[in-house]
Amino acid sequence: MTSTSVIKFSLVFFLSLLSYSALCQTEVIAETSKTSRESMADNGVKGSFGVAYNIINPSGDKYVGLAYKGKGGYNLKFKLFVYNGFFIGGSVGSSYFENTNISITGNYDKTRVGSHYLFLGYEYRPIEKLAFGINASVLGEARYKNEYRGGNEAYQVDRAKLRAFEASVDYFIAKNFSINISYTYRNDKTKIRTSSNLQSRFDRAQFSIIGLGFNFQFGKDAIISNSKELKTVITNYL
């Protein structure tokens, strides 16, 4: 199974967990009138969905750091809590660059980097309104679309194995809604092949990302703490 297939399978798994969460909510609401007055977002498996605008900063002595200028980007992230503060998640997004030195890279003037990856992480919440998180990618791919001066119809594609490490802070302005600030370091291992004397310059793409966005929080308990309820729901459903 390729890493792309694994990522797609994992996204389907996440959606299945969301379906389970919704089913749990239905069961709980049917049990008591008190629960029926509570918000739907306060029941089921705990997780979040977020969107962010990204400020891109090329770095290092590889071709991206030497020739690229960041032009912004965005990403969407989804995560589910497995046990206490530990979570799994997925991210999709795009980053945009301007090529400022064609003598290093070749005759193209801009690059769009599409990415998707899975990650594992941990969140610490010292007070109700504040949460600190860290995560690292476990499977991920990036697609570098280099557009030549002839326009969008003339382009060349490079691919890479994505490596990402992130630290983030959430400030909750409401019970289920937070403003998010994050820092992500990317060190992608590219599949670019060139002459032996230049290969070391093109074997990796390095840049950092400052993300500004918001997260919508949902659910109440981690997946493992819901294991008994999951068994009951499945038994009743079958």
pLDDT, tens digit, 9 for 90 and up, residues 139-153: 999 999 999 876 556
What integer is the mean pLDDT of 209-219?
96
**Tokens coding 148:** 């030549």
Least confident of 17-21, 29-33, 76-80, 218-222: 29-33
**DSSP state letters, 25-63:** HHHHHHH-HHHHTS-GGGSSB-EEEEEEEEEEEE-SSSH
Please say whether the beta carbons of 92 and 115 come within 8 A.
Answer: yes
| Contact call for residues 55 and 72 (beta carbons, < 8 A) | yes
Q: How far is C-alpha 225 from the chain's CA centre? A: 24
User: Around Cβ 215, how many Cβ atoms within 10 Å?
Assistant: 24
Domains of the chain: 1-44+225-238 (no CATH), 47-218 (2.40.160.20)
**CA 69 remoteness from chain centre:** 22
The confidence score (pLDDT) of residue 30 equals 46
pLDDT value, residue 225: 74
- Cα(149)–Cα(45) distance, rounded to whole angstroms? 49
Helix/strand/coil for 185 = strand
- Note the pLDDT tens digit of each residue in 103-159: 998 889 999 999 999 999 999 999 999 999 999 999 999 999 999 876 556 788 999
The candidate with the shortest Cα–Cα distance to 88, out of 135, 146, 150, is: 135
Of 43 and 226, which is predicted with more confidence? 43
**Helix spans in the chain (H):** 3-31, 33-36, 63-67, 102-105, 199-202, 227-237
What pTM was estimated for this model as a whole? 0.78
Which tens digit of pLDDT belongs to each residue from 23-80?
444 444 444 444 444 555 667 889 999 999 999 999 999 999 999 999 999 999 999 9
Q: What is the pLDDT of residue 125?
A: 94
Q: Say yes or no to pLDDT of 19 above 60.
A: no
